[in-house]
Amino acid sequence: MPGFEIKDPYTGIQVPYKLQKVAYYRENFQVFFKWTPKIIGTLAIVVGVIPLTWTYLVKQQQDQEVVVNRKPRKL
């Protein structure tokens, strides 16, 4: 029949398959690792920042003790 066109029933935007796949894995990753940033931040503070600060402060205190307890040099 002239003038009659069969259109696709789907009228939404065409999202490429690879992009759909990436979105699927990204969504599942975010759901599974929902609290990961909070956990990583806590671990970084407990494992990294606190020991480094402790070490730095102990070293400074030891340096001060060495300077304070040093005998005066004879000139």
pLDDT recorded at residue 24: 86
Residue 68 confidence class, pLDDT cut points 50, 70, 90: low
Between 40 and 4, the more confident residue is 40
How does 48-69 read in b/e, with b if 16+ C-beta sit within 10 Å? eeeeeeeeeeeeeeeeeeeeee
Residue 1 confidence class, pLDDT cut points 50, 70, 90: low
Among positive and negative, which fits the CA dihedral 12, 14, 20, 22?
Answer: negative
pLDDT tens digits for range 25-50: 888 776 666 667 888 888 899 999 99
Res. 65: pLDDT tops 60: no
Please give the DSSP secondary-structure letter assigned to residue 35: T
